[in-house]
């Protein structure tokens, strides 16, 4: 009885304190954004139906993008895996809004498109003073456009978030090894894009 009281009164609070102190820093760093990310995911649920995305002016680039994972000096590094099919909304501004990504990403599964991720795409302009960041995550880039889907002259930064499919590489990784373009008529194996100078 005395031991049970000791566990409840002293040992459990001490163990909880130790757990907090030794928890991985990345988990603690993401915790302040959990509610915001959950809210973002909920607000985008309607786009599980890609026709709703099209009605809201998210336009498909058709090609299902994937990478072989090769590393080339001076080029962006994309781990082996896929991004998927990008639906881009050209009506959104250049300042990234954490609650309004300007790209939705779908994985083709048989004859269906499954929403798996979102992306914020930000052009590099003369007014760009620093690398953009959301959720304490710096954007990748600046880089050339992803030809043939995005013109090479469209130098930009981007950030992915795998909100609707788990990514073993992490929520904000650019590619997902568990996403596939296999069997899709417009599968596109892309080469890494060239890195460009930025602010």
Question: What φ, ψ does residue 129 adopt, rounded to 5°?
Answer: -95, -25
Around Cβ 175, how many Cβ atoms within 10 Å?
22
User: Cβ distance 27 to 19 under 8 Å?
Assistant: no
Dump pLDDT digits (tens) for 63-98.
Answer: 999 999 999 999 999 999 999 999 999 999 889 999
18-46: average pLDDT? 69
What is the distance between the alpha carbons of residues 157 and 174, in angstroms, rounded to a whole number?
Answer: 12
In a domain, 195, yes or no: no
In a domain, 69, yes or no: yes
117-123: average pLDDT? 98
What is the distance between the alpha carbons of residues 196 and 136, in angstroms, rounded to a whole number?
Answer: 22
Return the H-helix or E-strand segment holding 38. Answer: helix 34-43
- What is the per-residue pLDDT for 15? 34
| Bridging pattern class, strands 187-189 and 59-67 | parallel
- What is the per-residue pLDDT for 93? 85
What is the distance between the alpha carbons of residues 104 and 101, in angstroms, rounded to a whole number?
Answer: 7
- Tell which residue, 67, 103, 111, has the closest CA to residue 85: 103
8 pLDDT higher than 60: no
User: Cβ distance 84 to 63 under 8 Å?
Assistant: no
What strands lie across the sheet with 112-123, from one edge to the other?
Answer: 140-143, 156-161, 112-123, 103-109, 81-88, 59-67, 187-189
In a domain, 6, yes or no: no
54 pLDDT higher than 90: yes
117 pLDDT higher than 90: yes
Number of domains in the chain: 1
In a domain, 65, yes or no: yes
| Nearest-10 Cα torsion for 42, 46, 49, 53 | -110
In a domain, 10, yes or no: no
In a domain, 8, yes or no: no
- With bands split at pLDDT 50, 70 and 90, how would you rate the model's confidence at 31? low
In a domain, 11, yes or no: no
- With bands split at pLDDT 50, 70 and 90, how would you rate the model's confidence at 29? very low
What is the distance between the alpha carbons of residues 139 and 172, in angstroms, rounded to a whole number?
Answer: 9
Dump pLDDT digits (tens) for 121-173.
Answer: 999 999 999 999 999 999 999 999 999 999 999 999 999 999 999 999 999 99
Please give the model's pTM, rounded to 2 decimal places: 0.84
Domain of 111?
25-189
- What is the per-residue pLDDT for 82? 98
55-66: average pLDDT? 97
In a domain, 107, yes or no: yes
19-24: average pLDDT? 38
- Tell which residue, 107, 111, 67, 56, has the closest CA to residue 86: 107
- With bands split at pLDDT 50, 70 and 90, how would you rate the model's confidence at 32? confident
* Token code pair at residue 87: 């639906």
């Amino acid at each position: 009885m005395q031991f049970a009281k000791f566990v409840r009164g002293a040992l459990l609070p001490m163990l909880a304190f130790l757990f907090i102190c030794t928890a991985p820093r990345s988990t603690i760093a993401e915790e302040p954004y959990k509610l915001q990310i959950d809210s973002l995911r909920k607000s985008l649920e309607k786009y599980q139906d890609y026709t709703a995305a099209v009605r809201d002016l998210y336009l498909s680039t058709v090609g299902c993008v994937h990478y072989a994972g090769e590393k080339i000096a001076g080029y962006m590094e994309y781990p082996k895996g896929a991004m998927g099919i990008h639906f881009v909304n050209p009506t959104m501004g250049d300042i990234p809004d954490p609650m309004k990504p300007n790209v939705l990403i779908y994985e083709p599964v048989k004859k269906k498109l499954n929403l798996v991720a979102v992306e914020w795409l930000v052009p590099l302009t003369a007014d760009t003073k620093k690398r953009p960041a959301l959720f304490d995550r710096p954007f990748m880039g600046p880089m050339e456009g992803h030809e043939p889907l995005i013109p090479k002259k469209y130098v930009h930064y981007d950030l992915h978030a795998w909100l609707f499919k788990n990514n073993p590489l992490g929520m904000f990784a650019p590619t997902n090894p568990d996403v596939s373009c296999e069997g899709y008529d417009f599968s596109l194996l892309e080469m890494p894009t060239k890195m460009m100078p930025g602010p």
